[in-house]
Structure 1
Amino acid sequence: MTAVLGAGAFGTALAVSLAQMGPVTLWGRNDYAMSRIAETRQNPRLPGVTLPDALTVTDDLGALPEGPLLLAVPMQKLRAMVTDHAEALRGRTLVACCKGIELSTGLSPLQVIEEVLPGTMTAQLTGPSFAADIARGLPTALTLACADEACSRTLQSALSTRNLRIYRTTDVVGAALGGALKNVIAIACGAAMGAGLGESARAALITRGYAEMQRLALALGAEPETLAGLSGFGDLTLTCTSAQSRNYAFGLSIGKGEGFDPSVTVEGAATARAVQQKTDAMGLEMPITGVVVGLIDGKMDVGQAMDRLLSRPLKEE
């Protein structure tokens, strides 16, 4: 049996999909919210989706079944979650479902887990996906990254459903960075579209953003094929072209000069700052990431950001 820890939209959607194949447990820390979800069989964060009978809802970590645990919590809250529940998680196979880089340390999701719980078997689930699509049973393909080949094959089988197709890789560095960095580029694309700069500008940002993703990932030891796959280019394409993406929607609000709901998690904002710190120390040029940090910190507007990018020295592609 599988359990999903984190009852947000994505965690709930994964649990709904996995329930097609057998019993699944969905855990959340808020006892009142979880009791309401259990009673109504509806999660307000995933409207229009009725939870299947095979899905058990709980706020009790002691009620979790044996089997892999999917951690569907925001990147910047992952460390606190694993630390607070270290005893319950120790010795389990943990699959991180968040995308990003920890702002305070520059670590990936699996690095955070392994720092808190050394020796833990870990994997990363990432790729182009929206919670609503997964929950509605629409076809979705994801990447499962795990350094242990045998564990990877076991998880691939356990997490595949009729609509969820899982591909595996041992390149945990590339998979994590692809999922993290595409959120930064999505903010840039949203800002460009919100400011009315047009589809051509967005295409340029996607393409040059992909070059930035490769630049950092390869410098950190990722395989180029990983960035060209679902966890890199695939996720980048989806996130930069749909308002369903919270990072793209956040960028749209910046481009339009509108406010954005502060309760909505925008992983790309913290990731952009973390990436800038890391790449400055490494001496890598990441111009799009730099202007995204300027935009989210209010140090420049979209016009100034585009001027900075367009005034860079001319060079070969």
Structure 2
Amino acid sequence: MTGEPVLAGVAEEVRRVAVLGAGSWGTAFAKVLADAGRDVVLWARRAEVADTVRQRHANPDYLPGVRLPENLTATADAAVAVRGAQAVVLAVPSQTLRDNLAAWRNLLPASATLVSLAKGVELGTLKRMSEVVSEVAEVDQNRVAVVSGPNLAKEIAREQPTATVIACADHERAVALQHACSTGYFRPYTNTDVVGCELGGACKNVIALACGMAAGLGFGDNTMATLITRGLAEMARLGTALGADPMTFAGLAGMGDLVATCASPLSRNRSFGERLGRGESMHQAQQAAHGQVAEGVKSCTSIRELGRRHGVDMPITDGVHQVCHEGLSPQDVTARLLGRKPKAEWS
């Protein structure tokens, strides 16, 4: 019983939150925070998006039909957004995080918790997002938290029940954030395994591309289950090599996120892969996605390289990279995967 007042006291420290990035996930997470009673300022790159959120309490470009709370406001001025914030949420794509954060670095409040929503591994450096945040913002890893789990933005914005993981090396910071975003439809759990949670969030995008390709080829549930399960094995092997807790991959940031992203038509990675499986080119798939490239298309390269650097076998990731960047067809990759040398399941 003595722990409850302490948790409540920590939670009270996160009253004002800035969310930098007004895409679908950034806006949905801002809504969660506002529904949890926080004062939230959403930063949008385009002034017209910020005006619509502020004046109409809506972001129809990304979350059509969703009413946003009154205590969620918006601005196109990042300095205004972060002023006085106890937590700053970074809701921009993984491969643009470094450049965006470099522009915001001098605006960040001195003691604010920095929260990454991005799921990826940076090209070139092969750094996880929390490592990029710590490096660019010049803050200790204990100040950086990540959010990962089965978090399809449109479902959350419609207040469909879901859970997530807030991972931070500083458990008290994770608990503070947990209280700051707990609602009747959004249940956050805490974890100190930042490495495992981030790798789960990054790798699942790549496996979802593979599942999409399989669906586009006309394959059914056996194939999907195989890819999800063997994809999980790849994730766990890589995570273990990098010091993650293997149990993390059996949880929300591993299997939970993997299933949602691989199975849902709301998943951009799954949908993008399905177009490739139906025979569309990368250019055609990108055009169909309104010019947006799924995160896994870029991350498959950095994740493959990360695996190679640590001697980890990642055949599905390698196959996705070959389709996206080396011109192989999904049919050819399928044949290569099925033609691999037989082995024991847990070897």
Q: Same fold (TM over 0.5)?
A: yes
Are 1:31 and 2:53 matched, yes or no? Answer: no
Q: 1:85 aligns with which of 81, 101, 104?
A: 104
Are 1:110 and 2:130 matched, yes or no? Answer: yes
Contact 2:286 2:293 in 1 (8 A): no
SS at match of 2:41: strand
Note the 1:221-300 alignment, pairs <5 A.
Answer: 221-258=243-280, 259-262=284-287, 263-300=291-328
1:69 counterpart residue number: 88
Deviation at 1:298, TM superposition (A): 4.8
TM-score (norm 2): 0.88
Gaps in structure 2 of 5+ consecutive residues: 1-15
Q: 1:99 aligns with which of 112, 119, 137?
A: 119
1:44-63 CA-partner distances (Å, limit 9, x unpaired)? 11111122211111112232
Contact 1:74 1:98 in 2 (8 A): yes
2:27 counterpart residue number: 12
Distance 1:171 1:315 in 2: 30
1:189-241 CA-partner distances (Å, limit 9, x unpaired)? 10001111222111111111111111101000000111110000110111111
Gaps in structure 1 of 5+ consecutive residues: none
Q: 1:163 aligns with which of 185, 190, 196?
A: 185
Amino acid at match of 1:46: L
Q: 2:58 aligns with which of 42, 47, 69?
A: 42
Distance 2:296 2:308 in 1: 18
Q: Which moved more, 1:21-30 or 1:289-298?
A: 21-30
Distance 2:188 2:293 in 1: 25
Distance 1:265 1:75 in 2: 12
Note the 1:121-270 alignment, pairs <5 A.
Answer: 121-258=143-280, 259-262=284-287, 263-270=291-298
Contact 2:164 2:189 in 1 (8 A): yes
Distance 2:192 2:186 in 1: 19
Contact 1:145 1:169 in 2 (8 A): yes
Distance 1:159 1:210 in 2: 28
1:247-278 CA-partner distances (Å, limit 9, x unpaired)? 00011000011322352241111111001112
Contact 1:90 1:117 in 2 (8 A): no
Distance 1:39 1:119 in 2: 35
TM-score (norm 1): 0.96
Contact 2:18 2:89 in 1 (8 A): yes
Deviation at 1:71, TM superposition (A): 0.9
2:74 counterpart residue number: 57
Amino acid at match of 2:17: T
Contact 1:41 1:50 in 2 (8 A): yes
SS at match of 1:162: coil
Aligned Cα root-mean-square deviation (Å): 1.4
Distance 1:36 1:222 in 2: 42
Identity %: 44
Deviation at 1:95, TM superposition (A): 0.4
Q: Which moved more, 1:300-309 or 1:33-42?
A: 33-42
1:3 counterpart residue number: 18
Amino acid at match of 2:114: L
Q: Which moved more, 1:295-304 or 1:97-106?
A: 295-304
Deviation at 1:101, TM superposition (A): 0.5
